[in-house]
């Protein structure tokens, strides 16, 4: 996990949002804008439309991870760090989610937040097949 975070943090425009309860961290989210050179869209099947894959470095934000301490789940913390992370982002946002996580509840949460499924991806041979989701551009 740490190596993945270190690798992701080196990408241009990488941002993170943290949630605290006093001095204790209780949740975080991080990601970065997709640039012209990315490995995100080529992994998606069926292949998405050219409109989704055409990137100018500012069109789509890749949400890499949201995590909340178990005792803080169900409190709105995940939504708060998500919204804080993307507060100044008016373009699309994308993420991958395991459709089986939480018995499908995790994907349902993202759908309530405005994300729609656009395909599937398997980032690594040993990884599960994930649902790729997009949240449309937000009004500025």
Nearest of 23, 26, 27 to residue 82 by alpha carbon? 27
Number of structural domains (the chain) is: 1
Residue 83 counted as domain residue: yes
* Average confidence (pLDDT) over 75-103: 94
Residue 31 counted as domain residue: yes
The model's pTM is: 0.88
Q: How many CA atoms lie within 13 A of 46 on its CB side?
A: 1
Residue 140 counted as domain residue: no
Token reading at 60: 């789509």
Q: In which domain, by residue range, is 81 found?
A: 2-135
pLDDT, tens only, 38-68: 788 888 999 888 877 776 656 889 999 999 9
pLDDT value of residue 103: 95
Instruction: Give the CATH number, domain containing residue 111.
Output: 3.40.630.30
């Amino acid at each position: 996990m740490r190596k993945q975070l270190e690798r992701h943090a080196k990408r241009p425009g990488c941002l993170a949002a943290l949630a605290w309860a006093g001095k204790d961290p209780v949740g975080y989210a991080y990601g970065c804008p997709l640039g012209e050179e990315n490995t995100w869209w080529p992994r998606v099947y069926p292949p998405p439309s050219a409109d989704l894959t055409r990137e100018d470095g500012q069109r789509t934000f890749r949400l890499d991870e949201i995590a909340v301490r178990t005792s803080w789940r169900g409190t709105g913390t995940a939504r708060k760090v998500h919204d804080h992370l993307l507060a100044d982002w008016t373009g699309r946002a994308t993420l991958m989610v395991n459709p089986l996580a939480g018995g499908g509840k995790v994907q349902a949460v993202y759908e309530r937040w405005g994300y729609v499924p656009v395909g599937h991806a398997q980032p690594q041979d040993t990884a599960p097949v994930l649902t790729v989701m997009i949240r449309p551009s937000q009004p500025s």
